Amino acid sequence: MLKTDLHLHSGEDAFHKLGYTAKDLIEYAAKLEFEVLAFTFHRDVFFYKELSDYAKKKGILLISGVERYIEGKEVLLYNVSQSDIEKIKTFDDLRIFKKKKNILVIAPHPFFKRSNCLGKKLLENIDVFDAIEYSHFYLSFFNLNKMAVKIAKKHKLTLIGNSDTHYLKQIEMTYSLIDSKKSIDSIFKAIKKGNVILKTKPISLKYFFWRIFRIIMKSE
């Protein structure tokens, strides 16, 4: 079982003001025995050989990814390059591209109350998604992942746990165990088949309000 997190941000992401580097995160994740990671910056694919080699030395398979805006909504794409994502501006573009290349498409925090979350766009384009994210950001009595669970069950899509890390302490709050060999093709197949165990627990009320404050102050 591969301990996995496919939704990560670090200080190199120009969209955020984060106080740690990608290598800091890889080193921290390695100590927590993660084996598969993906950086998913908002505008750019942050993936290069030196970083991939650094992760490999730490026992981690690094997969290229991006949190792409498609028709104004956030979509997670994997095994893509910068030139690839520049061709994908609409969901129809994504449908066409999926026929040409082995990529993975995940719906991140689709029903959270932000304008850039997928919402009804997920239902309108459910055919292009391979999995739906179960986000770490929920309380025991307030959980915006519930609709994601319902939609995943209805459409027989995999629920995959990700941290959407913006602070190092987030990375183990929610993650996935994937029953797969340690290769991109095998991992994608396992996710699409549903060979994933969701590992998650509610956050504390203190942490919830701290994150809300940070978001309001636009410090992340």
pLDDT tens digits along 62-92: 999 999 999 999 999 999 999 999 999 999 9
Question: What is the largest distance, in Å, between two alpha-carbon atoms of the chain?
Answer: 46
Token code pair at residue 34: 């993660």
Whole-number average pLDDT of the chain: 95
Question: How far is C-alpha 206 from the geometric centre of its chain's CA atoms?
Answer: 24
Q: What is the pLDDT of residue 214?
A: 74
pLDDT grade for 216, boundaries at 50, 70 and 90: confident
Is 53 in contact with 85 (CB distance < 8 Å)?
A: no
Give the closest residue to 134 by CA, choosing from 152, 116, 154. 152
Is 113 in contact with 145 (CB distance < 8 Å)?
A: no
Assign domain 2-216 one CATH number from 3.40.50.300, 3.10.20.740, 3.40.1260.10, 3.20.20.140: 3.20.20.140
Q: Are strands 2-8 and 36-39 parallel, antiparallel or unpaired?
A: parallel
pLDDT tens digits along 150-163: 999 999 999 999 99
pLDDT grade for 220, boundaries at 50, 70 and 90: low
The full set of domain ranges for the chain reads 2-216
91-113 CB burial, b ≥16 within 10 A, e <16: beebeebbeeeebbbbbbbbbbe
pLDDT tens digits along 120-149: 999 999 999 999 999 999 999 999 999 999
- What value does the mean pLDDT take over residues 40-46? 93
Give the closest residue to 1 by CA, choosing from 180, 161, 195. 180
| pLDDT surpassing 60 at residue 219 | no
3 state SS of 125: coil
> What does DSSP assign to residue 139?
B
| pLDDT surpassing 90 at residue 104 | yes
Is 53 in contact with 23 (CB distance < 8 Å)?
A: no
Q: What is the pLDDT of residue 217?
A: 67
pLDDT tens digits along 7-28: 999 999 988 878 899 999 999 9
- What value does the mean pLDDT take over residues 106-125? 96
**Which of 18-22, 33-37, 205-209 has maximum average pLDDT?**
33-37
| pLDDT surpassing 60 at residue 117 | yes
| pLDDT surpassing 90 at residue 109 | yes
Close Cβ partners of 199 (under 8 Å, ≥ 6 residues apart): 161, 174, 175, 176, 177
Q: What is the pLDDT of residue 201?
A: 95
Q: What is the pLDDT of residue 218?
A: 63
- What value does the mean pLDDT take over residues 193-213? 92
